[in-house]
Amino acid sequence: MNTAIIIGVGPLNGLGAQLCRRFAHLGLHVHAAGRTQTSLDALVSLIESEGGRASACVTDATDEAQIISLFDRACAAGPPALALYNVGNYTPGRISEMTAEYFTAGWQGACFSGFLFAREAVRRMQPGGRGTILFTGASASLRGRADFGAFNSAKAALRIMAQALAKEVGPEGIHVGHIIIDGVIDGDKVRKRYPEYAEQHGVDGMINIDGIVDAYEFLYRQEKAAWTFELDLRTATEDW
Ligand SMILES: NC(=O)c1ccc[n+]([C@@H]2O[C@H](COP(=O)([O-])OP(=O)(O)OC[C@H]3O[C@@H](n4cnc5c(N)ncnc54)[C@H](OP(=O)(O)O)[C@@H]3O)[C@@H](O)[C@H]2O)c1
């Protein structure tokens, strides 16, 4: 039980990579999964330079065979203590102008892949009757918003799937949690793609990654007589 599998890992100053670092610091061998080898290799080098253990696992979360293969490799020495699903690509667009293919791809990327990942995690954890499965949510998990119908519907469906799973496997000793990130994360994505937004909002107007990672660690450490399913995180100034 000293393994973590974390999928949805991209740039170093992004949530997925920082979650990997934290759980490596806690002594877990982290299997970091994403689609880009170079990003994963940079993260593994950093974790190893900090004294941790990590492996890079190039995986497309929407591909069932790749997810099964990821778990087969990562669980060779036993079931994981933690399986963390952080995928969730932003798919903007107006519903009236959207193709069926675009909507379906958005759902596959942010919901269906979460089902594939969670199913494999549960199958590996069930025999030992323990383990933690965590999902990353967003404002979209709770609210529909004009021009974001594909993303909102996929994130909301992921949340309800996670809730159903929590009720299914909780009695078997498996803790399922969902973290709602209600606002923009202060990380590489916003700073590189939308620098003007980062400039305008500053560090207090975006959600701090370390603070988010603390929430995942809190859920991971909980004792089973006092489990939390869901936490929501936002800045002090968020209009919600
Ligand atoms: N960024 C925000 O402001 C924000 C706000 C609220 C909630 N969230 C949520 O936080 C989570 C992390 O998002 P993030 O944008 O901050 O990114 P991140 O944690 O820095 O990295 C996530 C990475 O997942 C990888 N990925 C995407 N599709 C994948 C797939 N099909 N299979 C495997 N890996 C995949 C991407 O890297 P590759 O392209 O290299 O595979 C992406 O960079 C998401 O669930 C998102 O909905 C983000």
Identify the residue whose tokens are 């003007």.
Answer: 196
Domains of the chain, with CATH numbers? 3-233 (3.40.50.720)
| Whole-number Å distance between alpha carbons of 75 and 67 | 12
**Look-up: residue for tokens 């590489």?**
188
CA of 198 to the centre of ligand 1 (A): 18
Question: Which amino acids bring their CB within 6 angstroms of ligand 1?
Answer: 7-11, 14-16, 34-36, 39, 59-62, 86-89, 109, 113, 136, 138, 181, 184-185, 187, 189-190
pLDDT digits (tens, 9 = 90+) for 165-198: 999 999 999 999 999 999 999 999 999 999 999 9
Contact 6, 16 (CB under 8 A): yes
Tell if the pTM clears 0.75, that is, is over it: yes
Burial (CB < 10 A; 0-12, 13-18, 19+), residue 227, is middle
Nearest CA to ligand 1 atom 7: 138
pLDDT per residue of the chain (240 residues) written in tens, 0 to 9: 699 999 999 999 999 999 999 999 999 999 999 999 999 999 999 999 999 999 999 999 999 999 999 999 999 999 999 999 999 988 999 999 999 999 999 999 999 999 999 999 999 999 999 999 999 999 999 999 999 999 999 999 999 999 999 999 999 999 999 999 999 999 999 999 999 999 999 999 999 999 999 999 999 999 999 999 999 999 999 999
Q: Please report the pLDDT score of residue 1 as a whole number.
A: 62
Atom of ligand 1 nearest to the CA of 62: 31
Q: Which atom of ligand 1 is nearest to the CA of 19?
A: 19
CA of 119 to the centre of ligand 1 (A): 20
d(CA 227, CA 110): 25
CA distance 145 to 151: 9
Backbone dihedral region of 239: left (phi > 0), alpha (psi from -120 to 50 degrees) or beta?
A: beta
